[in-house]
Chain A
């Protein structure tokens, strides 16, 4: 192997080509994700079964507490499915974003000792969150199938588009706030507040018509510009709407706003990359 040493050019160590570089290190990325996934249920008897039990219990709780006690079952048809669909995608976002923000701190020992493309860490956090979301999607699809879900290409496409938007958005935000968090731990607390609001700033617990009826037109446009609102609605289109609830009405100009949301997610990813690049040089000394 010494032969390839003399042919390689002299280069500054520790420079990357950004997020794309991570995909040249697919193998390491896969191992990092697998590590997190493997240790999640280490030492538990039921293991990954818990990931299926949790959303099932959530479904029952939603059905009884919010559906029956609060009377939402009467106002929105298949309300527990509606609620679980929205919760699933928002949970994916929150987990990917929160863990992405903490990812550089959590891996401080590595970052300070060994060079590897550090964009790897928020991306790994997002992928781990995605793996954790899969059982939830399986459960909700299973419930929907029992109730009479007949998916079309459109509904599958809507689900995938929502996942893509959230994956890009959470990775970008994770890079952005994670980089800031290395020096200012305030970022972590700020992100906690954002994720707390996320579930209320999108139509998870209620329907978009309630927002449209309560706020002026411009505010409703702003509401629809929130990529999470779009992602939640896409999940509703994909899982809840095919069940055939009465008076189902997609979010006005849903597909236009879906395009905008995808654009916003890409811009935030680029912004995250930019901020990361500006701050990365200080990681090893600030951590």
Chain B
């Protein structure tokens, strides 16, 4: 058992996750493949005993190459996926900036989408109302707020979606590869906002392939390789180790 202090924000303890890849997609194919003694499924071990703890107010970068298990780990923390074995625990409200705009509906106006998406991310009506003006101001689309989202340019859409997500009331913020949205001034604004949240004591877990940005944003880096933790320490060292190529 792990000893957890009362400032522990996230516990990931011996987590295993295996995905089963099906090679047949119909009953007929399955029967035929069984007759031919072909393999019906392949197992893919995404996480193989990952364990770490994050304290309140820490900012952690999950690093690793494609398929190393970063996003799977993030989905475990958000509750979207469940571990096969091991355990994941979180304290307080978790919100993921995992794929911005998943809850947006093109036929609703920007205003309606803000309320809907904020509720999907776990906010109450009161909280949304209190932040509504900030959300709109941050997204810089005041003029179009009552226009249906389908008429937005892709940049406007992403700005609004990101703006909602980054204004949610949370204790733990999960960020997956979304800092590539928008033009450069907007990106800088997003990073400034994330730093603000960090300064306010929120716990951050970030996944990104932009190593420079990530090492500036996070003080701690966890390097995953083949579903295992390879390195856990200062983010600069983690990035250096990853760059060194082994």
Other-chain contact of B77, A4, A6, A13, A15 (Cβ < 8 Å): A13
What is the CA–CA distance of A38 and B89 in the complex, to the nearest angstrom? Answer: 38
The reply to whether A284 and B80 form a contact with Cβ atoms under 8 Å apart is yes
What is the CA–CA distance of A27 and B75 in the complex, to the nearest angstrom? Answer: 25
Within 8 Å of chain A (Cβ to Cβ): is B116?
yes
Shortest distance in angstroms between B245's beta carbon and chain A's nearest beta carbon?
Answer: 31
Shortest distance in angstroms between A69's beta carbon and chain B's nearest beta carbon?
Answer: 41
Q: Which chain B residues lie closer than 8 Å to A111 at the CB level?
A: 80
- Would you list which residues of chain A between 1 and 57 have a CB under 8 Å from chain B? 1-2, 4-6, 8-15, 27-28, 31-32, 35, 38-39, 42
Shortest distance in angstroms between B226's beta carbon and chain A's nearest beta carbon?
Answer: 19
The reply to whether A110 and B89 form a contact with Cβ atoms under 8 Å apart is no
Interface residues in B, total, Cβ within 8 A? 45
A-B contact count (CB 8 A): 105
Given A2-B200, A12-B87, A13-B88, residue A110 in contact with residue B77 (CB < 8 A)? no
Q: Give the nearest-CB partner of B87 in chain A.
A: A12
Q: Which chain B residues lie closer than 8 Å to A284 at the CB level?
A: 75, 80-81
Within 8 Å of chain A (Cβ to Cβ): is B188?
no
Within 8 Å of chain B (Cβ to Cβ): is A245?
no
Q: Which chain A residues lie closer than 8 Å to B98 at the CB level?
A: 113-114
The reply to whether A11 and B96 form a contact with Cβ atoms under 8 Å apart is no
The reply to whether B107 and A39 form a contact with Cβ atoms under 8 Å apart is yes
The reply to whether A14 and B105 form a contact with Cβ atoms under 8 Å apart is no
What is the CA–CA distance of A1 and B116 in the complex, to the nearest angstrom? Answer: 23
Other-chain contact of B108, A2, A6, A39, A110 (Cβ < 8 Å): A39
The reply to whether B88 and A116 form a contact with Cβ atoms under 8 Å apart is no
Q: Give the nearest-CB partner of B90 in chain A.
A: A13
Q: Give the nearest-CB partner of A283 in chain B.
A: B80
The reply to whether A5 and B56 form a contact with Cβ atoms under 8 Å apart is yes
The reply to whether A8 and B92 form a contact with Cβ atoms under 8 Å apart is yes
Given A31-B119, A35-B108, residue A113 in contact with residue B19 (CB < 8 A)? no
Q: Which chain B residues lie closer than 8 Å to A11 at the CB level?
A: 89-91
Given A27-B124, A110-B103, residue A6 in contact with residue B79 (CB < 8 A)? no
Q: Give the nearest-CB partner of B98 in chain A.
A: A113
Q: Which chain A residues lie closer than 8 Å to B4 at the CB level?
A: 10
Within 8 Å of chain B (Cβ to Cβ): is A109?
yes
The reply to whether B56 and A28 form a contact with Cβ atoms under 8 Å apart is no
What is the CA–CA distance of A112 and B74 in the complex, to the nearest angstrom? Answer: 12
Q: Give the nearest-CB partner of B124 in chain A.
A: A27
Shortest distance in angstroms between A35's beta carbon and chain B's nearest beta carbon?
Answer: 6
Other-chain contact of A14, B7, B79, B87, B125 (Cβ < 8 Å): B79
Q: Which chain B residues lie closer than 8 Å to A1 at the CB level?
A: 169, 171
Shortest distance in angstroms between A120's beta carbon and chain B's nearest beta carbon?
Answer: 10
Q: Which chain A residues lie closer than 8 Å to B77 at the CB level?
A: 13
The reply to whether B11 and A10 form a contact with Cβ atoms under 8 Å apart is yes
What is the CA–CA distance of A152 and B202 in the complex, to the nearest angstrom? Answer: 59
Which residues of B come within 8 Å of A, CB atoms?
4, 6-9, 11, 19, 56, 75-82, 87-92, 94, 96, 98-99, 102-103, 105, 107-108, 112, 115-116, 119-122, 124-125, 169, 171, 200-202
A to B CB contacts below 8 Å, 25 in the list: A1-B169, A2-B201, A4-B171, A8-B171, A9-B91, A10-B11, A10-B89, A11-B89, A12-B79, A12-B87, A12-B89, A12-B90, A13-B79, A13-B90, A27-B119, A28-B119, A31-B115, A35-B105, A38-B108, A39-B108, A110-B102, A110-B120, A113-B96, A114-B80, A115-B78
